[in-house]
Structures are given as C-alpha cells and as structure tokens.
Amino acid sequence: MTRPDELVFDPALIRRFDVSGPRYTSYPTADRFVEAFDAEALKQWLRKRSVGGVARPLSLYFHIPFCNTICYYCGCNKIITKDHGRSAKYLKYLAKEIALQAACLEGSREVTQLHLGGGTPTFLSHDEMRGLMASVREHFTLKPGGEYSIEVDPRKVDFDTVALLAELGFNRMSLGVQDFEPEVQQAVNRIQSFEETKLVLDAARATGFRSVSIDLIYGLPKQNVTSFDRTLDKVIELAPDRISLYSYAHLPATFKPQRRIDAALLPNPDGKLQILKLAIRRLTEAGYVYIGMDHFARPDDELAVAQRQGRLHRNFQGYSTQSECDLLAFGVSAIASIGPVYAQNHKIIDDYYDALDRDELPVLRGIELSADDVLRRAVIQGLMCHFELSMESIEIAHLIRFEDYFAAELAELREMADAGLIEIADGWITVKPAGRLLVRVIAMVFDRNLRADRERARYSKVI
C-alpha cells in the first residue's frame, strides 16, 4: 500500500499531463507585473508595513550578478567578468539602495532570513563581502537564530572563504554542482571536481553551517541514466542536508548562452524521464524526503520539519521555512514581496545605476494584488507546499464559498481526479502520490491569468 507521503513515478501520467507552465515562486507570476507600478508605489508600501502598530519580520534578498565564467545552461541575470572594479562599483550602488529602502521603512527592521543569490555571490572578495554585510547591519538587525544563506560556486571557494562566511553570520549554503560527469561538464562549460566540492562542504560543516544543499540539473547534454547514476553516487556520499533537482529547460531563443549547447546531445524526453525516475528512487532510498517541485531534504532538516508542521512557504528563492516575512530585494533584477505587492528592480545594470543616481528606488515594474489574486495565491501556495488544501480554511480567510467561487476550476480538476492525481473529498483537495511531481499542473488550474491566456510558450515544461 502506498504511504500518504510517498512519491509515485508514473511515466504515462507524466507524459499525459506534462505541459508548459510557471514555477509559482509568486502569484501572479513575474511576467504579469506592470511598469505602472513604480518606485513611488513601492515607497508607499514600505511605509505602510507598520500600519496598526504591527510589522511582519523581514527577509532580505541580494542579487550579485557577477560570474568568472559562463555556464551554458544558465538562465540567470548575470555579468561575466573577472574585473573586480565592476563589483566594487556595484556594491557602492547596492549600499545606496539599502539606505534608500531602509529610510522608507517604518517600525521594526528585524531580519529573520537573508539570502545572497546570483550570478555568483562568492565572486566578491573577502573585503567586499565584509563591506556588504556591514551595510546590511548598519540598517537592519539580523535576529540570532535566523536563516542566513548564500549560493556558492565550489570552484572559487576555499576553507578561509567558508570560515569568513560563517564569521559574517551565514549558516546555510547551496553548492552548485549540476553534474559530476566530465563529459557533461565540458558540454556545459562548468568543470568542477568532486574533491573541490567536498572540500567546501566539509568546510561548511566544520565552521558550523546548519544546512548545506547541492543543486543538480537533469536533462543536460550527454547525460544518461548510467552517467547520472554515477553523479548520484557522489552526491549521496557527500550526504548534503538538501538536494535541488532541477529540470533543464532548453530555451536558446530566450537565453543566449544556451545557443552554445548542441540540442542533438540532449537526452530525448523519455531519456530525461528515466533520469528523473532514477534520481527519485536513489534519493528516497538514501533517506531523503520529497518536499515538492524539485526539492529533497533529510527528515530532520528544517525544510522537512516545516512541511510536517504546516509552516512551509514558497518565494522567489524556492521553498522556505519563513512564511510570515516581508521580502525586501536589492540589486539588479531582484524581486520584493511586501504585503499584497511585488516589485522588481531594473534588469539592465545601467538602468539600475541611473535610477540610484537620481536618488530613486530602482523599480522597473511590479503589481498590487487584488483580493482575487491574494485568494488564488493562498490556494496555489497550499497545494505547492503541503499537497493538500482545506476548502473551509480558504472560505474562512477569504469570505467566499469555495465550491461556488471555484466552480470552473473544480470542474477542470475532475479529469485529474479521475486520473488519480488528486482526490476531492470531505472539504479537502489532496494531491495523491502519483500527482506530486505534477503539482505545478494542478496549481495552474487556479491561475486566473492562464485561464484567460492559454498561450504558455513563455514557460518551460513542468517535467
């Protein structure tokens, strides 16, 4: 008999329901943001945080766009350079943005979560990293015991760098690996040995990091079941606390570096499915819990604990244990989430600099959520984080009658219920083990924008 928390891999169901769709790091998704939401709009919402005398704790995100070399698969907003003059200039502007946002805030500036992403945050020199964190602490209070994480490229990091990160307060890191096979690494221009990766992971444990995650990608050129099995051997030997297993989306028209990848070398759809099936089996046999989407964690990791306790949340960095935070975002292309609004910074670095030169918050676009958006966000979050949804809890929180409000959606879900992906009974929508890998497809049913606009070419495949 299948356990309620088990994951079932059904190739026929995946082929049937595997469509293109959003990853739902936000709802509405970032492609729905509008430029009518500007710097002044963000400023007003920053000031409104403490209305009524209560302000939610803060989560901070910093985008560091610089990388020494280019990885061909990458779709991130990045700048390829070895010139630290460029990062020094960027950090000066980042410090100005920190000060501008902090000046708009009313009430507490207590931070319970911080994340440095990129690009490659460890591109920064030791002095640059110290300077950035000094700017943060000048304007915000980092709460003891908070979750402070950073993305690390093991190819450019030694023990001293890891020790510095620990000294600065970081206690979580994610290590980019993608694949350990030399042929695959050459095909995507990311040469990285097992030994240098192990050095960084061991250093993190020796210096007190609470959690270390490894990022993998399936569907890369020259990958196959046999080769990826060898990569999984090495990952399981390293025994990270969390593993992210991302599906490679080949979108060379959107991401120019991907044009250097020979599409003929990519595994075919069936081969890609077999790699995913292998990875799920190996990781679950090794004791990892499937959190959702593309995340696995050890049962005692904070992410798995948060899911069991109903506290799991999803934001622009993926799954998170901090559900009640306002997310402030700094740096080029970074996205903030404050109350019922999202705001994204300029994506082009010169536009970002120009706005700050005018003493303006560098906002490109954003959106203020309607009551319907807030409702649908809660439904999608519930499904994505917990694989179940209480209709009654949604009704109480949003003053609706679920079956009436979502009549069209419930009708559309019947096909998925008949296929065994979900169960709708006793006031609950429950994602069954065979539907967990397809939770994005289930969530898409509640996306009002997709219901009105079935053009999904802008999105990658779910699997």
Q: Is 385 annotated as a binding residue?
A: no
Q: Is 187 annotated as a binding residue?
A: no
Closest by alpha carbon to 233, among 277, 181, 268? 181
Q: How many CA atoms lie within 13 A of 376 on its CB side?
A: 23
Match 């989430």 to its residue by tokens: 337
Compute the distance between CA of residue 207 and CA of residue 172 in angstroms, rounded to an integer: 11
Q: Is 67 annotated as a binding residue?
A: yes
Collect all residues with Cβ–Cβ distance below 8 Å to 224 and sequence separation of at least 6: 267, 271, 275
Q: Contact at 8 Å (CB) between 409 and 382?
A: no
Q: What angle do CA 87, 89, 93 make, to 5 degrees?
A: 110
Q: Is 73 annotated as a binding residue?
A: yes
Tokens matching residue 444: 């898409």
Q: Is 119 annotated as a binding residue?
A: yes
Q: Where are the beta strands (DSSP E) in 85-168?
A: 110-118, 141-152
Q: Is 372 annotated as a binding residue?
A: no
Match 């020259």 to its residue by tokens: 222
DSSP string over 389-433: EEHHHHHHHHT--HHHHTHHHHHHHHHHHHTTSEEEETTEEEE-G
Q: Is 343 annotated as a binding residue?
A: no
Compute the distance between CA of residue 35 and CA of residue 312 in angstroms, rounded to an integer: 31
| 110-118/58-64 β-pairing | parallel
Closest by alpha carbon to 222, among 166, 270, 267? 267
Q: Is 418 annotated as a binding residue?
A: no
Q: Is 76 annotated as a binding residue?
A: no
Compute the distance between CA of residue 387 and CA of residue 293 in angstroms, rounded to an integer: 11
Q: Is 101 annotated as a binding residue?
A: no
Q: Contact at 8 Å (CB) between 115 and 85?
A: no
CA dihedral of residues 389, 392, 394, 395 (deg, nearest 10): 160
Collect all residues with Cβ–Cβ distance below 8 Å to 195 and sequence separation of at least 6: none
Helix (DSSP H) and strand (DSSP E) numbers for the chain:
17, 19
Q: Print burial letters for 342-357: b (CB count within 10 Å at least 16), e (below 16).
A: bbbbbeebeebbebbe
Q: Print burial letters for 99-111: b (CB count within 10 Å at least 16), e (below 16).
A: ebbbebbeeebeb
Q: What is the DSSP letter of 31?
A: G
Q: Is 118 annotated as a binding residue?
A: yes
Q: Is 61 annotated as a binding residue?
A: yes
Q: Is 104 annotated as a binding residue?
A: no
Annotated binding site for S-adenosyl-L-methionine: 61, 73-75, 118-120, 151, 178, 190, 215, 249, 335
Give the annotated binding-site residues: 61, 67, 71, 73-75, 118-120, 151, 178, 190, 215, 249, 335
Which positions make up the binding site for [4Fe-4S] cluster? 67, 71, 74
